[in-house]
Amino acid sequence: MPQQQRAKIRIYLDCNSPWSYFAYTKLRRDRPLLSQHGVDVEINPIFLGGINVGSGNKPPWTLPAKARLGGFDLPRAIKYFQVDPLTSPPFFPIMSLLPMRCLLYAKENLPYEQYENAFGDLWHFLWREHKDVSKPEVLAECLGRHFGREDVERIIKAGTDPKYKKMLTDETAMLVEKGAFGAPWWLVTNKEGVEEPFFGSDRFHFVYQFLGVPFQDIEILPPGSSKL
């Protein structure tokens, strides 16, 4: 009897997006149990600005109504996902092309866990320390927490390499062609080989339902129960 194939979550993130960070954090927490259920997780850098342009979408901070709601939703999400506070830097948004290209190189050429840890630190630098990781020297400081000096030099150099410029452009075009209009964007393949897209950091229940992974849904507790 042929062995059933493993399912896969591919998620595409940009450090400009705090919602990408929430998805990144929860997926990393869930990964050990997901693996036991036969689900692999791959975290990918993507240029959100290119997705917005290609899809015709407008970033939330450019629309007053979305921006006002974001002022409520960001602290709500920080509490729900149980992460340290994030605050928008005064120079937000950044042009994230350089860090996203550099991460493509790191993902392709260096140990995956180090790459993924470095990706997470981009949000720490940008949203907690308010350091502009679009600047090569700042990006090098961030990457230096996870890679040796020579590797950091190679990573930064790759950010201007035509190969990784094209790779990021091609990844963006692929996602737009598949219907992407923001980040985090998910491409999820179940064990039957069926792929479906998902959007946002609040779609875990839909993703796990699609994958057939058992999960505890939201339940209202009786009065007197402990609250989050």
* Residue 17 known to be catalytic: yes
Amino acid at 131: K
For 167, the enclosing helix (H) or strand (E) is helix 162-177
CA-nearest of 65, 70, 69 to 17 is 70
Residues in CB range of 13: below 8 A, 6 or more apart: 20, 21, 23, 24, 43, 44, 45, 46, 119, 183, 184
**How far is Cα 40 from Cα 186, in angstroms, rounded to an integer?**
13
- Name the catalytic one among 17, 20, 134, 201: 17
Strands (E), the chain: 7-13, 39-45, 185-189, 195-199
Contact by Cβ (8 Å): 47, 97: yes
Contact by Cβ (8 Å): 184, 15: no
User: Annotated catalytic sites, by residue?
Assistant: 17
